[in-house]
Amino acid sequence: MIPQDLKAELLDVAQEAARRAGALLRDGRPADLAVAATKSSPIDVVTEMDIAAEKLITGILAERRPADGLLGEEGADSPGTSGVRWVVDPLDGTVNYLYGLPSWGVSIAAEYRGETVVGVVAAPMRGETYHAVLGGGAWSGTARLACRPDAPLDRALIATGFGYLQTRRAHQAEVAARIIPVVRDIRRGGSAALDLCDVAAGRLDGYWERGLNPWDLAAGELIAREAGALTGGRPSEPASGELALAATPAVFAPLQLLLDEAGAWHD
């Protein structure tokens, strides 16, 4: 059992780090990034911003929680000695960021003895920051989040994502083609963290994706779950790189079964 004061401290640290990294990414992005850049390519600039945001976050964590472990998208990986490990995605939605689309965010989660206990996702271009503490509900600012009221699968709006590998994308398109006739519609937002938060906020009935990393998933999954959504992977398995799924209770089981039958968990 994690002490309440430690939960509060971890939330405060995560919120500060996400806020400052989000501001760095928002204010540091060149206005013409999608069409021209001062470096060899726009991708180089995005990579630099990604690394700079992670460096800012890891600096804050090192200053305020020096004994904690860390797993970050840009290569940070240390075990720590406190029982706390941070799981950090400094820029989730990189392609959206490159093109000037607003759906990107900073995702920071804290695990205690292997269990995610705090999640924060900052979406600067939306002007929103989502957070959850294990057992304490999910929030956007001071507004408590709740997933949508239960509706049948044929009236469900579902989001998904596609990987970068061509063979994986082709199979993911086949899976989506199996799902779209039996749901209201499908969306592709481009940020796993924000898709999970949109399930929490009642903007989506469900979301699935294959190929997510722990830093894509950790904060958003906790936020979705604390808002009343169910989360998992294949039947009877947790969310993982094979398959991650979050949905309202009525949508979760039938969508999970359809995804499993469609082979959404393999390429």
Domain ranges across the chain: 4-136, 153-261
Short-list 177, 242, 180, CA closest to 209: 242
pLDDT of res. 38: 43
- pLDDT, tens digit only, all 267 positions of the chain: 899 999 999 999 999 999 999 999 999 998 777 554 444 456 666 888 999 999 999 999 999 999 999 999 877 788 999 999 999 999 999 999 999 999 999 999 999 999 999 999 999 999 999 999 999 999 999 999 999 999 999 999 999 999 988 889 999 999 999 999 999 999 999 999 999 999 999 999 999 999 999 999 999 999 999 999 999 999 999 999 999 999 999 999 999 999 999 999 999
How would you classify the pairing of strands 206-209 and 157-160? parallel
Outline where DSSP puts E strands in 134-239: 138-140, 143-144, 157-160, 185-187, 206-209, 230-232
SS3 assignment, position 50: helix
pLDDT of res. 43: 62
Instruction: Enumerate residues 6+ apart whose C-beta is below 8 A from 126.
Output: 102, 103
pLDDT of res. 100: 92
Helices (H) and strands (E) in the chain, counts: 7, 13
Sign of CA dihedral 60, 64, 66, 71: negative
pLDDT of res. 216: 97
Count CB-CB contacts under 10 A for residue 65: 20
Backbone angles phi, psi at 111, to 5 degrees: -100, 145
Bridge partners of 184, per DSSP, are none
Domain 4-136 has CATH 3.40.50.620: no
Which residue is listed with tokens 């959206």?
96
Are 221 and 196 spatial neighbours (Cβ–Cβ below 8 Å)? yes
Burial class (CB in 10 A: 0-12, 13-18, 19+), 176: middle
CATH of segment(s) 153-261: 3.40.190.80
Instruction: Enumerate residues 6+ apart whose C-beta is below 8 A from 68.
Output: 61, 80, 82, 84, 85, 86, 110
The two structure tokens encoding residue 140 = 């956007």
Which residue is listed with tokens 């991650």?
244
Which residue is listed with tokens 């998208």?
73
pTM of the model: 0.95
